[in-house]
């Protein structure tokens, strides 16, 4: 955790990772993650900062919050229990809850098409983490034809990521959290990070 971030994504990534680390990782593991610098917060300071960032996130509507969690929370968590039956990692419950929220939101957008949760999960995850995957690949991975993939991608991306004409729900959520974190002094003011400021105002323009 840091005292201040150049932009919201960095703050969200750290905060969403921090909260789950407390239970899942040994204190040594946390210590070994990086070389602390003057601006690096550790221990209770880091936990307090993660709490401040989460408090801003909690001001958003459930859907907006869920979109940001999918974009920036770790998908899986490491498990250090050492049990022989343990796979060493498990799905992050917070990311999973967020995915359910977004799946429920997109379902009516594609109501006339055959429901395909695996496909929608893949499309939502790819869209929010800016991951490129071809329609052919998605079709194979989810066991559907390319026309189904194209229809689901069009409906989901238009709503979450937007079109040339209209900003998507993820853009609105990103702009809102950037403003909240800036007002709270967690994200540095424009000038300290001109690129970050451009990012935040892009979809307001
Ligand atoms: Zn385990």
Tens-binned pLDDT, residue by residue, of the chain (205 aa): 899 999 999 999 999 998 565 444 444 444 445 555 557 888 888 889 999 999 999 999 999 999 999 999 999 988 888 888 888 888 999 999 999 999 999 999 987 767 789 999 999 999 999 999 999 999 999 999 999 999 999 999 999 999 999 999 999 999 999 999 999 999 998 754 455 445 555 544 4
Quick check: is 199 in a domain?
no
Looking at the structure of the chain, the number of domains it has is: 1
Distance of CA 52 from the midpoint of ligand 1 (Å): 29
Quick check: is 146 in a domain?
yes
Q: Which residues, by Cβ under 5 Å, contact ligand 1, an ion?
A: 79, 81, 86
pTM for the full predicted model = 0.82
Distance of CA 71 from the midpoint of ligand 1 (Å): 25
Using CB atoms within 10 Å of the CB of residue 5, give its burial: 0 to 12 exposed, 13 to 18 middle, 19+ buried: buried
Distance of CA 102 from the midpoint of ligand 1 (Å): 28
**Alpha-carbon distances of 37 from 5, 40, 115, 203, rounded to whole Å:** 14, 5, 49, 34
Domain hosting 143: range is: 8-194
C-alpha span between 134 and 92 (Å, rounded): 26
C-alpha span between 173 and 161 (Å, rounded): 11
**3-class secondary structure, 187:** strand
Distance of CA 122 from the midpoint of ligand 1 (Å): 26
């Amino acid at each position: 955790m840091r005292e201040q971030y150049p932009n919201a994504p960095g703050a969200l990534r750290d905060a969403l990772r921090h909260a789950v680390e407390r239970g899942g990782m040994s204190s040594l593991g946390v210590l070994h993650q990086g070389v602390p610098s003057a601006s690096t917060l550790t221990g209770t300071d880091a936990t307090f900062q993660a709490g401040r960032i989460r408090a801003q996130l909690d001001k958003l509507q459930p859907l907006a919050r869920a979109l940001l969690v999918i974009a920036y929370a770790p998908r899986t968590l490491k498990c250090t229990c050492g049990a022989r039956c343990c796979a060493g990692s498990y799905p992050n419950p917070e990311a999973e809850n967020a995915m359910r929220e977004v799946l429920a939101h997109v379902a009516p957008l594609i109501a006339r098409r055959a429901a395909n949760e695996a496909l929608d999960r893949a499309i939502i995850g790819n869209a929010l983490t800016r991951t490129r995957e071809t329609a052919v690949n998605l079709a194979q991975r989810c066991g559907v034809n390319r026309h189904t993939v194209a229809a689901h991608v069009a409906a989901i991306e238009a709503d979450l990521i937007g079109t040339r004409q209209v900003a998507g729900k993820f853009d609105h959520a990103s702009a809102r959290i950037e403003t909240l974190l800036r007002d709270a002094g967690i994200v540095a003011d424009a000038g300290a990070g001109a690129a970050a400021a451009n990012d935040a105002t892009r979809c307001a323009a």
